[in-house]
Every structure is written in C-alpha cells, then in structure tokens.
Amino acid sequence: MRFHDRIDAGKQLAELVAEKYKGTDCVVYPLPRGGVPLGLELARALNMPLDLVIPRKIGHPYNPEYAICAVAETGETVCNERELARADKEWFEQRVAEEREESRRRRELYLAGRSPAVIEGKTAILVDDGIATGLTMRAAVKDMRARKAAHVVVAIPVVPEDTASLLAQEVDDVVALSIDAHYMGAVGAYYDNFSQVSDQEVLEMMKQLDDRGFLKQS
C-alpha cells in the first residue's frame, strides 16, 4: 500500500477510524512532527479535539537513527533491553534528560501555553505517519496510561506485522491501513512524498485549532 503524502494517508486513516470511533468521547493525539498532518485529518473527520503527545527517540550512540529507547514526557522509558545493556549508563541518563527537555520545548512552542486536554476516563487515539520499531509509540502509550485514559487506540497507516502484534498487547485497539508482513524497512518507503515536517509547519497547523483543541469553523 502506498500513499501520496501524509494528507492522503490521514484522510484514508480517518475513514477507517471513523467507522469505529465517530461519536465517542475521544481525543486525537498525533506524535509531532510527522503525525500532526494525519492527526488533523482525524480530528476533522471525527469532530474531536486534538492535543499532542511528545515522546522522544533515543538513538544508538554510534548510529543515532537506530532507536534503542524512547522516553515519554512523563519520564517513562521503553527500551530495547539488549541494546540498553550495552550502553553507558551516564550517557543514557544524559540523553534521557536532553530528550525530555526537547519534549518540553516542543510543547511550549507548538501549544503556546494551552493546557493539556483532560483524557482521564476517555479514549486516546494516538496517531503517527508510520511505525518501525514502535518504541516511540509505546512510550506514548505509557504516557496515556499515566494520564488515566480509559482506552488507548493506535491509529497508523502502516506498521510491521511483528510490531502490530506487540502493540496489540499494550493497547485496546490497533487501527491500521496496512499491517505488513514484509515491511520495507522505513516508513518513507510507503510514501511518494515524505519530506520532513518542520516546526513552522506544525505551528501553522496548530493555529487551525481553537482553545479547546477543536478545528476552527471556516
């Protein structure tokens, strides 16, 4: 399955999510930056508020693109334990502190002081543009559980079959357009246009929301 861009993926995903969750008490939580365009499409289709959840990947010390852990805003970590055991403890603690600071920076920048949505007793729908290892999404799940969400749903365009099976053990539902048994190795391989989403683009997208997190009426 291929997508033209994140908007295309978001619209297709929104149709699938709406079949199950439209009319229920939910909050949409995209993972910035790449998940935000998709999150807006879900919020629009389901008429639901949107907030952000901002877990951060911790890359391998010799290969930063290879995630060995992810840390939630609340400080919980999800790790590849085998890789973590090989890492220097002081280096790891420093990286956790740096990435939590980056989460705080992004929250302040993107939300401009807006209070987090109240998710206790509601359903959290976590959205990203794709999943590879699943570490950052699993950290986002821990964040939602810490905030006492009644149900946690992962909505995703494409996910490897083994990662989907792992997530299914930790959340209430995985809604995916494609669960790929022969994953192509990178999320961008499923998109015609997978250009990086900038801070400024996220800011412009977040301006479409009112103070409650709903899309403003045009």
pLDDT at 146 over 80: yes
Q: Is 140 inside any structural domain?
A: yes
CA distances from 82 to 69, 85, 106, 158, 169 (A): 11, 5, 30, 26, 20
Mean pLDDT of the chain: 95
Contacts of 180 (CB under 8 A, 6+ apart): 1, 158, 159, 160, 161
**Cα 138 → chain centroid:** 9
pLDDT in tens, 102-127: 999 999 999 988 889 999 999 999 99
The set of residues, in sequence order, having a beta carbon less than 8 Å from that of 26 and lying 6+ positions away, is: 46, 48, 122, 123, 124, 125, 153
* Residue 21 located in a structural domain: yes
* 19 occurs within a structural domain: yes
* Whether the predicted pLDDT of 218 surpasses 70: no
Domain assignment present for 111: yes
Number of C-beta neighbours around residue 113 at 10 A: 6
Q: Please state the domain count of the chain.
A: 1
- The answer to whether residue 126 sits within a structural domain is yes
Query: What percentage of the chain has pLDDT greater than the value 90?
Result: 89
How far, in Å, CA of 177 to CA of 13, rounded? 7
Domain-located, residue 128: yes
Residue 218: inside a domain: no
Q: Are 161 and 131 in contact (CB under 8 A)?
A: no
Residues 55-73 have pLDDT tens digits of: 999 999 888 888 899 999 9
Cα separation, 121 vs 115, in Å, equals: 17
Domain with residue 170: its CATH number is 3.40.50.2020
Q: Which domain holds residue 66?
A: 6-206
Share of the chain above pLDDT 70, in %: 100
Q: In this predicted structure, what is the pLDDT of residue 64? A: 86
pLDDT by residue (tens digit) across 18-63? 999 999 999 999 999 999 999 999 999 999 999 999 999 999 988 8
| Entry field: residues in the chain | 218
What lies within 8 Å, CB to CB, of 193 at 6+ separation is: 4, 5
In a domain, 199, yes or no: yes
